Amino acid sequence: MSPTLLVLADSLAFHGPRRAEPADEPRLWPNVAAAELGGRAELVAGIGWTARHAWHAVTHDPRVWALVPRVDALVLGVGGMDTLPSPLPTAVRELIPVLRPDGLRRAVRTGYNAAQPVLARAFARVLPGGGPVALPPRETVRHLELCRRAVLALRPGIPVVAVLPPVHRAAVYGHVHRGRPAAERATRAWAGRTGVLLLDLAALVSEHVLGGHGNPDGMHWGWSAHAAVGAGCAAVLRPALRM
């Protein structure tokens, strides 16, 4: 069997120790996982993607529609970005690229980037749960479930893997990650109800990231972490693929 993995993911799936990489870079964790299983990965991903972005891809991207009927496993590599502090509304950040004129866009982006870590730290000190996150846990699992149901409607019985959120030490988020525990609890509960397999990213990359061995941004990974996550994903999938 030469399985095809459909991987819906955020930038952790295509960003290496220095920069974003082409989707066919063999050291990226989806390709490591597929290679260990003797197959290939079809990566559909974007910078900052949450589970809601993954659902948008499932419903709006014709490339996904073409892939789904012949995939052998679904890997939901989203959810980590959902847990990041979002002291200013996520919609504000997503609208910045379309602001005009260019000077206004640059000024708003500069102001947003300067305010975000300061507000994230302040909210973490005074608000329950550390303040708002990019996507609340209930919405994360709702969109993960929508993705799961949509793909399994066309490919019933294939294994589905979701990820538990990783860790970060990113200055741009004020080194704040108070939203992670609630998201992990919600994801575990949803996976338990639905039979989804889980890949614990924090267990695989915490030492690497928190030890400063990854990308200087404090969020993305070096190649050793990609190798560990890819091997972990393959190990989770192998029994389900009966290999």
Q: Is residue 11 in some structural domain?
A: yes
19-73 pLDDT per residue, tens: 999 999 999 999 999 999 999 999 999 999 999 999 999 999 999 999 999 999 9
Q: Is residue 124 in some structural domain?
A: no
Q: Is residue 139 in some structural domain?
A: yes
Write the DSSP symbol of residue 9. Answer: E
Q: Is residue 169 in some structural domain?
A: yes
- Which residues constitute the domain of residue 14? 4-84+133-240
How many structural domains comprise the chain? 1
What are the φ and ψ backbone dihedral angles of 182, each rounded to 5 degrees?
-65, -40
117 touches 126 (CB < 8 A) = no
Give the 3-state secondary structure of 148-189: HHHHHHHCCCCCEEEEECCCCCCHHHCCCCCCHHHHHHHHHH
pTM of the predicted model, to two decimals?
0.95
Give the containing element (helix H, strand E) for 197: strand 197-200
Q: Is residue 113 in some structural domain?
A: no
136-185 pLDDT per residue, tens: 999 999 999 999 999 999 999 999 999 999 999 999 999 999 999 999 99
